[in-house]
Amino acid sequence: MILTATHIISAGFEELYTDVRHKEGRVYSDEEVLHLPNTAKDHPHYQEWQIRKESCNRLKHYFEKKLTPLKILEVGCGNGWLAQQLAEIPGSKVTGADVNFTELQQAVRVFNHIPNLQFIHGGINAIEIEEAKYDFIVFAASIQYFASLETLIRYALQKLRPKGEIHILDSPFYKPGEISAAKERSARYYRDLGFPEMTEHYFHHSTDELNFFRFKTLYQPSLINRLSNNKNPFPWIYIRKQ
């Protein structure tokens, strides 16, 4: 287990983000992180974690069907719970990267017993993230913290092997005409939470931004999904390097 910490991100943003997570009740003990995505039914975010669990299992099943050693990078890994889940795939080698050093320190504490898992402090452009070395790059519940989706995907494609894949999940996408209202809702949410400055770091994206990359949707929320046991409201986006 390696934690590389040469990329020091603005302490101001990290402190702001951590304060917001505390206020939202999304800062977990080491014991809780160890068992994620499983939580007690009386946990305030139980339903949210049920969604994360469902999408995690679907992604793992997709990767497991490849039946070959996989090198996986998760960008925006936070406390490392999903990276740890992906490291359970036989033959996998997983790297989790995040700009939040506090959460990465927790990831190392909790998952330091896993030999095929490492963590890097930094973003997709961190020099420790090797170019053209990954089979899969995963963005799970993280793209809303990147201002330019196009720039992000172009960086990610540079890090993939030929025919490598990008997977985006557990993040909201909006129709172009819905973005203005979504921004207003987010501003109101952070204002009511007591952190209006967080709106400068939270972004709203449309799948139209991905048209150049010939993306595919492997899962699309629908009315049928919402009426069934599958309550996941987020699409699963797939982009393959040519």
Name the residue ranges covered by the structural domains of the chain: 3-240
Low-confidence residues of the chain, pLDDT below 70?
1-11, 223-230
pLDDT score for 221: 87
In contact, 159 and 130? CB cutoff 8 Å: yes
Interstrand relation of 70-75 and 160-169 (parallel, antiparallel or unpaired): unpaired
pLDDT score for 232: 86
* Cα–Cα dist 4/6, whole Å: 6
In contact, 47 and 224? CB cutoff 8 Å: no
pLDDT score for 222: 73
Write down the CATH number for the domain with range 3-240.
3.40.50.150
Q: How many residues does the chain have?
A: 242
Helix/strand/coil for 75: strand
Give the CA count within 13 Å in the CB-facing half-sphere of 111. Answer: 35
* Cα–Cα dist 235/238, whole Å: 10
Which residues partner with 70 through β-bridges? 92
pLDDT score for 128: 83
* Cα–Cα dist 6/120, whole Å: 9
Q: What is the pLDDT of residues 95-115, one digit of tens each?
A: 999 999 999 999 999 999 999
pLDDT score for 156: 95
pLDDT score for 229: 55
Sign, CA dihedral 148-150-151-152, equals: positive
pLDDT score for 41: 95
pLDDT score for 8: 39
pLDDT score for 123: 87
